[in-house]
Amino acid sequence: MPKPPAQGYDKVAAFMTLDPGLCVFRRFARLNVKNLLYLQGELAYLQQDLDEIIEEDKQSRCPEKAKYPFSVWDLKESLNDPNPENQTQWLKVLEVRKLLNEYNNALLQHAQMLRLAPPEKSDLQAFQRWMDWEEAMNMSIPFSPHGQWQGENVKDLVALCSQHKDTDRFTRWVFSHLIPWFHQRWGHKMMKQDPEVEAYFIDGQRIRTATYFLTLLLSGVLPASAMILMYFLRHKTLASLIVILIYNLLFVLITGLMATSKRVDMFAMGTAFAAIMVAMITNSNPSS
């Protein structure tokens, strides 16, 4: 029996599972913060109530209550006391414990959500285009609630995963600009469409591999071509210095775009590259 085609949120789920970067959801930041504030306020009131009960029990002449500050067992066993007044402190402790656990869980969950990054611009645009197309194809039954990934809600969106994490700027540019440009002109004729969600997908690993090998190629060609030029310009100091300037700029730009180096690392590599080329000039002109 053939599987029925996915519809509605089932189809959205199928679309999201094809690419981790498309797992985009709302953070509900304002609601989470408001919930934490409410829990914090409730706990503050409970803490005040508990402090008052403890103080009242200390002032009491009841011999059972006199043990509470020194014995957790007696405090806990007060639930079995036939006198309800002796149970008040432990009941309040249990109430505080329950709410405190809820507050701590909410606090840690919100801290985790704050670490989630917003979706990549290209991934979000692809998701929004697909959603617009899906809603246009099913105008009789629109998604409800409407606009969950649009308008002001965009600022509240987070991605559970990103295929561009720890990738260089050049690879990001390929994903965000080059691939959409290629797909719009020729890619849609060459690539296969997923039959369930009716969308085109590109193997991101192949793209990353291609940009990696291009980086390796440039990292080999750039120093080698500089050495060849320096050899032919070994007797022309001014021209050699201009070549050093141009190649040093190219080296730093390519390193910044095609590697995940820190700024201090790029500065150090640029300085080392320039120093090597200056040393080549010095060695090629021993008379100077």
Digit-coded pLDDT (tens) for 200-211: 677 677 778 888
Query: Given a cut of 80, is residue 280 above it in pLDDT?
Result: no
Q: What residues are paired with 152 via a beta bridge?
A: none
Give the mean pLDDT of 174-193. 70
pLDDT for the residue numbered 224: 78
Integer Cα distance of 224 and 217 in angstroms:
11
Integer Cα distance of 90 and 83 in angstroms:
13
Is residue 105 within 8 Å of residue 24, measured between CB atoms? no
Query: Mean pLDDT of all residues in the chain?
Result: 80
Q: What is the 3-state secondary structure (H, E, C) of 13-72?
A: HHHHHCCHHHCEEECCHHHHHHHHHHHHHHHHHHHHHHHHHHHHHHHCCCHHHHCCCCCH
Rounded to 10 degrees, what is the CA torsion of 109, 111, 114, 117? -80
Angle at 32 between CA 28 and CA 35, to 5 degrees: 140
| pLDDT class of 187 with cuts at 50, 70, 90 | low
Integer Cα distance of 29 and 118 in angstroms:
13
Query: Given a cut of 90, is residue 33 above it in pLDDT?
Result: yes
pLDDT for the residue numbered 270: 66
pLDDT for the residue numbered 72: 84
| pLDDT class of 192 with cuts at 50, 70, 90 | low
Ranges of H-type helices in the chain? 8-17, 29-59, 63-66, 72-77, 88-114, 121-137, 169-173, 179-182, 188-190, 204-232, 237-258, 263-284
| pLDDT class of 288 with cuts at 50, 70, 90 | very low
Give the mean pLDDT of 29-56. 95
Domain boundaries of the chain, sorted by first residue? 29-114, 166-288
Of 16, 261, 254, 266, nearest in space to 126 by CA: 16
Judge if pTM exceeds 0.75.
no
Q: Which residue has the higher pLDDT, 261 or 30?
A: 30
Is residue 242 within 8 Å of residue 209, measured between CB atoms? no
Q: Which of 33-42, 69-78, 159-168, 279-288 is modeled with the greatest confidence?
A: 33-42
Integer Cα distance of 15 and 149 in angstroms:
14
Q: What is the pLDDT of residues 52-106, one digit of tens each?
A: 999 988 888 888 888 888 888 887 888 888 888 888 888 999 999 999 999 999 9
